[in-house]
A and B are shown apart, each in its own frame.
Chain A
Amino acid sequence: MRGVGQVLSLPVTLWLLVAFAAPMGVVVLLSLHEFPSPFGPVIQAPSLAQYGLILSDPFYLSVIAETVGLGLAVTAISAVLAYPLAFWLARMPSRWRALAFAVILIPLLTNVVVRSLGIILLLAPKGLLNSAIGLFGIAPFETMLFTHGAVIVALAQVFMPFMVLALYDSLQNTSPSVNEAAQSLGASPALRFLTVDLPLSLPGLRAGIIVVFLMASTSFVSATLLGGKQVWTIGMLILREAITNLNGAMASALALVMTLVCLLFIVMTTWVMNRFMGWRNGAPGTPVTLPAPLVAVIDIVGPWLSRVLLAISVGLLLLPLVLVCVQSFNDVPLATAAGFEGFTLHWYREVLVVGNYASAFWISVQLALVSIIIAIALALPAAFALARYPFAGRGLLLAFWMLPLTLPGVAIAVGMLKLLQVYVMIPAFAGLTAMHVVVILPFVITLLTTSVLTLDRAQEEAAESLGAPPLRRFVLITLPALTPGLFAAGIVGFLMSFGEVTVTSFLATARMTTLPVRIYSEATFALEPTAHAISALLIVITTLALALLGRFIRLDRLYAR
């Protein structure tokens, strides 16, 4: 059917053209300014002066290289740690599965400053890790903090969940019969993972790699707090230029250079990964014979390695939970990772009774709900277009859809600030929703496309051959099969919107302040344990909601029942 792909791609493209192309355009125009002029017009005679400054300054170039290196390391570690966890989730009895998702959501529900303090607690000279190895008589490592390693651990902790979500759907989608076939041929569990589950999960891995790399390379908070200026990222420089130096031109140019790097990364990743996914186009496999000694080693090491990695990833994800819970009852005026001074319920009283958090909380919930519903409604047709109805220019369109993820939030904010006079004419809630949908769309599109790609076409064909009309097929076959994907995309999108602070903090108005902006406004002044109490409450609420949700929706595939 000609034209179906284009039609399905239309809604998301239109939304981005309305809500994202304008700030993006401003960023492009600003980057072409010869000199920064905070009050000057946006449109000026174009100049490549800012790009010239970047390309001729070894400092900027080295920071770009450093950012890419950091992004690659975070992506690699996330992938290694995410596989065992995603595998574990995919094999979990379906009634517990929704609840188990709480594990990977804990870092996303924890305030970023609190999370970073957790990493300090882990890696400090007198921290958890050194205390643990001290039990074995090993001398402490004094210099783990303020290194690239510390920043990589911190970023892996918060971005690994995205990798897990991307892998989870692919992994639990592997038909049991394929596994049984391998088993009947004598393959051990470790060997089955390497030869069956791993190759079949590559679409998920590709999505995860792209999302994690893009997020890691635009991040700046963890690098600032845990890098101690030993670690630099482009995100830090963009924030500095845009906000401290009021140099929108340089900030925009830096952001666009990073966007180009990210787009290049997407193209390369897609190209490389597709070479390993020949089976998707029906290309014949290229059988490899593993030497017997290698198989023996894999059989011995595999089970242990997967357990150790699972323990590490669960431990890393749960670390903030420990910190959050202990500190939320700590009787100290300024939050800390170390030392419990006494038990108090004061911070919960502050949050639940005294403070004005409730209104901000409800605004955040409404905003996140409306944003995720709109985002899924826009992204689902787009995902089908990408997965099933190829058309010319699809790659270019996908690049456009991914742009919001490659452009750091600060840069979007710079563009929005120039458009503020127009923006304030839109009702505050609608304006914030438009921006939140833009921010979460790339995630939702990526996750849903993977889900649609891994749908079992045979089931739909079977239904069709039995005479089911398209709508019936969609409701009875396709939609239930998509439930895990919709669930993952829904949760991620909801939490991304719920936690968004970079762009929102520039657009929040007196009557429309979200919870994260409120917490941020307090944390920039002095970090009180109220931030921990809020995180603890969010974790409890989310866990309860997931447990409840798990009773109503099935997160496994039809044929597993």
Chain B
Amino acid sequence: MKFTRRSVTTMIGAGLAAPMHFVRPAHAQPKPGDELVVGIWGGAQEKIVREFIEPKLVDKFGCTVSYVLGGTLERRARAYAERGRPSFDVLYLNIFESRQAVADGVTQAPTPAVENFENLYPIAQKGGYGVAFNPCTVVYDRTKASAPITSWKDMWNPEWKGRIAWPEGLGTQGVSALMMTAKAWGGTEADFDLIVEKVNELKPFAAIQSSQAQLFEMFDQGICDLSVEFGSFTRTYAESRNPNIEIADPIEGQALAMNVACITEGTRNQVLAEEWINLHLSDEVMLAYAETIYYSPTTKSVVLPPELAAKVITGPQVDQLVDFDWDLINAKRVEWQARFDREIAR
């Protein structure tokens, strides 16, 4: 009962917020000295936006840019607490958080007011403005594999028994692993019973991994040989520390995951926020993301050098990325996480 009523509340909230999207008030032009507040991860992404986006925006409008650094979960909790009166103008979320945030009236649905919007792949035009594809797939130690992994079903090959580090719960990697299990075995996202049954066949796990740092440590220490992880970080890890690690490209496709730039509902810097995102979608920034952290471009126009293009997802590969029914997953998230805790992890 609890979950049904909760989703009803969510739907009512979304329903009340929905008409807002059709009203586009005339936005005041930015004045010199206006401050744009951007919520983003620290590290490489912060460096790229500071280097490539901030100076151009400041040149054009005479504004200032401030950053609130942190993980998406804290950002999202803040944005929800401040709905309608946000202290952020732009905030970066992951794929499922962004779609839920639009439904909950916390952030705006994307519009062509951002010039580069039309340049985005269609799957990057949902829940905000997709700024980077960062798909999840099977990653494994090729020296432990009898044959290269070509399907998500290969995880059920007995040679991996006891050697899999399954990703935790319904985080990005976890959802990818669970939902691709359903798709690979002939089900849909709704077939959670099938998912639990199939995943339990893989037990015992070597461990359950909660972060990339932890997974890579497990590979280093020989604790596990296979997991589901972001291809981008795994490539950096494989190139710098562990050449035996392979990033599979399964026939069912890699699971779509994406960083999304979102404009908050109620921002007082609409024009600045739109221009910020427009600059983020420029070829220059897309290239910097791909070069620095192997994040794949979400715009159709950018051309990558061939050796770099081979390491990220481009062109026709984008069509093979598997997108999930996020409305369903978000509605079922609490229930499924509880079942994961009790029936798979415990």
A interface residues with partner B (beta carbon < 8 Å):
35-40, 53, 59, 113, 117, 120-121, 124-127, 145-146, 224-225, 228-230, 232, 240, 242-247, 332-339, 341, 413, 417-418, 420-421, 424, 505-506, 508-511, 513, 517-528
Whether B241 and A339, one on each chain, are in contact in the complex, defined by CB atoms closer than 8 angstroms, is yes
Q: Which residues of A contact B6 (CB under 8 A)?
A: 35-37
Q: Given contacts A336-B220, A420-B81, A525-B44, are A225 and B70 in contact (CB under 8 A)?
A: no
Whether B78 and A125, one on each chain, are in contact in the complex, defined by CB atoms closer than 8 angstroms, is no
Q: Given contacts A125-B222, A228-B208, A505-B74, are A113 and B240 in contact (CB under 8 A)?
A: no
Whether B217 and A332, one on each chain, are in contact in the complex, defined by CB atoms closer than 8 angstroms, is no
Which bracket fits the contact residues of B?
35 or more
One of A224, A338, A519 near B210 (C-beta < 8 A): A224
Q: Which residues of A contact B87 (CB under 8 A)?
A: 424, 509-510
B21 to chain A minimum Cβ distance, whole angstroms, is 18
Q: Which residue of A lies closest to B211 (CB)?
A: A225
One of A230, A418, A511, A517 near B69 (C-beta < 8 A): A517
One of A40, A232, A245 near B333 (C-beta < 8 A): A245
Q: Which residue of A lies closest to B232 (CB)?
A: A526
Q: Does B341 belong to the interface (CB within 8 Å)?
A: yes
Q: Which of B134-181 contact A (CB under 8 A)?
A: 168, 170
Whether A246 and B80, one on each chain, are in contact in the complex, defined by CB atoms closer than 8 angstroms, is yes
- Alpha-carbon distance between A120 and B170 when the two chains are bound, in angstroms: 24
Q: Which residues of A contact B69 (CB under 8 A)?
A: 508, 513, 517-518, 521-522
A35 to chain B minimum Cβ distance, whole angstroms, is 6
Chain-A contact segment, one of B35-43, B190-198, B280-288: B35-43
- Alpha-carbon distance between A120 and B222 when the two chains are bound, in angstroms: 12
Q: Which residues of A contact B104 (CB under 8 A)?
A: 38-39
Q: Which of B22-70 contact A (CB under 8 A)?
A: 35, 37, 41-46, 66-70
One of A36, A59, A242 near B341 (C-beta < 8 A): A59
Whether B70 and A520, one on each chain, are in contact in the complex, defined by CB atoms closer than 8 angstroms, is yes
One of B44, B66, B217 near A526 (C-beta < 8 A): B44
9 nearest A-B pairs in the assembled complex, by CB-CB distance = A510-B66, A521-B42, A521-B69, A524-B71, A522-B42, A124-B221, A229-B208, A522-B43, A525-B41
Whether B217 and A528, one on each chain, are in contact in the complex, defined by CB atoms closer than 8 angstroms, is no
One of A35, A243, A421, A508 near B85 (C-beta < 8 A): A421
Q: Which residue of A lies closest to B346 (CB)?
A: A59
Whether A510 and B67, one on each chain, are in contact in the complex, defined by CB atoms closer than 8 angstroms, is yes
Determine which residue in A40, A145, A526 has the highest number of CB atoms from chain B within 10 A of its CB, and name it. A526
Q: Which of B290-329 contact A (CB under 8 A)?
A: 293
Q: Which of B214-246 contact A (CB under 8 A)?
A: 214, 216-217, 220-223, 233, 236-237, 240-241
Q: Which residue of A lies closest to B342 (CB)?
A: A59
- Alpha-carbon distance between A293 and B212 when the two chains are bound, in angstroms: 56
Q: Which residues of A contact B71 (CB under 8 A)?
A: 505, 520-521, 524-525
Task: Give the A-B contact count at a CB cut-off of 8 A.
Answer: 169
Q: Which residues of A contact B211 (CB under 8 A)?
A: 225
Q: Which residues of A contact B111 (CB under 8 A)?
A: none
B330 to chain A minimum Cβ distance, whole angstroms, is 11
Q: Which residues of B contact A521 (CB under 8 A)?
A: 41-43, 46, 69-71
Tell me the dominant secondary structure on chain A's binding face: loop
Q: Which residue of A lies closest to B210 (CB)?
A: A224
Q: Which residues of A contact B77 (CB under 8 A)?
A: 242-243, 246, 413, 417, 506
- Alpha-carbon distance between A461 and B211 when the two chains are bound, in angstroms: 60
- 19 more CB-based (< 8 A) A-B contacts, given A228-B208, A334-B213, A505-B74: A35-B5, A39-B80, A40-B9, A117-B217, A127-B221, A145-B223, A242-B77, A243-B77, A244-B170, A334-B237, A506-B74, A508-B68, A513-B69, A517-B69, A518-B69, A520-B70, A522-B46, A524-B42, A527-B213
Whether B210 and A225, one on each chain, are in contact in the complex, defined by CB atoms closer than 8 angstroms, is yes
B interface residues with partner A (beta carbon < 8 Å):
2, 5-6, 9, 13, 35, 37, 41-46, 66-71, 73-74, 76-78, 80-83, 85, 87, 104, 168, 170, 207-214, 216-217, 220-223, 233, 236-237, 240-241, 293, 333-334, 337, 341-342, 345-346
Whether B70 and A339, one on each chain, are in contact in the complex, defined by CB atoms closer than 8 angstroms, is no
Q: Which residues of A contact B5 (CB under 8 A)?
A: 35
A225 to chain B minimum Cβ distance, whole angstroms, is 6
Q: Which residues of A contact B233 (CB under 8 A)?
A: 334, 526
Q: Which residue of A lies closest to B36 (CB)?
A: A510
- Alpha-carbon distance between A232 and B233 when the two chains are bound, in angstroms: 27
Q: Which residue of A lies closest to B73 (CB)?
A: A243
Q: Which residue of A lies closest to B8 (CB)?
A: A35
A32 to chain B minimum Cβ distance, whole angstroms, is 15
- Alpha-carbon distance between A124 and B206 when the two chains are bound, in angstroms: 12
Whether B83 and A525, one on each chain, are in contact in the complex, defined by CB atoms closer than 8 angstroms, is no
Q: Which residues of B contact A126 (CB under 8 A)?
A: 221-222
Q: Which residue of A lies closest to B333 (CB)?
A: A245
Q: Which residues of A contact B37 (CB under 8 A)?
A: 510
Whether A417 and B241, one on each chain, are in contact in the complex, defined by CB atoms closer than 8 angstroms, is no
Q: Which residues of B contact A229 (CB under 8 A)?
A: 168, 207-208, 210, 345-346
Whether A125 and B73, one on each chain, are in contact in the complex, defined by CB atoms closer than 8 angstroms, is no
Q: Which residue of A lies closest to B35 (CB)?
A: A510
B6 to chain A minimum Cβ distance, whole angstroms, is 6
Q: Which residues of B contact A59 (CB under 8 A)?
A: 341-342, 346
B14 to chain A minimum Cβ distance, whole angstroms, is 11
Whether A245 and B345, one on each chain, are in contact in the complex, defined by CB atoms closer than 8 angstroms, is no
Whether B83 and A39, one on each chain, are in contact in the complex, defined by CB atoms closer than 8 angstroms, is yes
- Alpha-carbon distance between A334 and B216 when the two chains are bound, in angstroms: 9
Q: Which residue of B lies closest to A413 (CB)?
A: B77
- Alpha-carbon distance between A523 and B233 when the two chains are bound, in angstroms: 13
B190 to chain A minimum Cβ distance, whole angstroms, is 20
Q: Which residues of A contact B42 (CB under 8 A)?
A: 518-522, 524-525
Whether B66 and A511, one on each chain, are in contact in the complex, defined by CB atoms closer than 8 angstroms, is yes
A339 to chain B minimum Cβ distance, whole angstroms, is 6
Determine which residue in B13, B45, B68, B233 has the highest number of CB atoms from chain A within 10 A of its CB, and name it. B68
Q: Which residues of B contact A511 (CB under 8 A)?
A: 66
- Alpha-carbon distance between A285 and B260 when the two chains are bound, in angstroms: 70
Q: Which residue of A lies closest to B67 (CB)?
A: A510
Q: Which residues of B contact A517 (CB under 8 A)?
A: 69-70
A56 to chain B minimum Cβ distance, whole angstroms, is 12
Q: Which residues of B contact A505 (CB under 8 A)?
A: 70-71, 74
Whether B222 and A337, one on each chain, are in contact in the complex, defined by CB atoms closer than 8 angstroms, is no
Whether B213 and A525, one on each chain, are in contact in the complex, defined by CB atoms closer than 8 angstroms, is no
A413 to chain B minimum Cβ distance, whole angstroms, is 8
Q: Which residue of B lies closest to A507 (CB)?
A: B78
- Alpha-carbon distance between A518 and B47 when the two chains are bound, in angstroms: 13
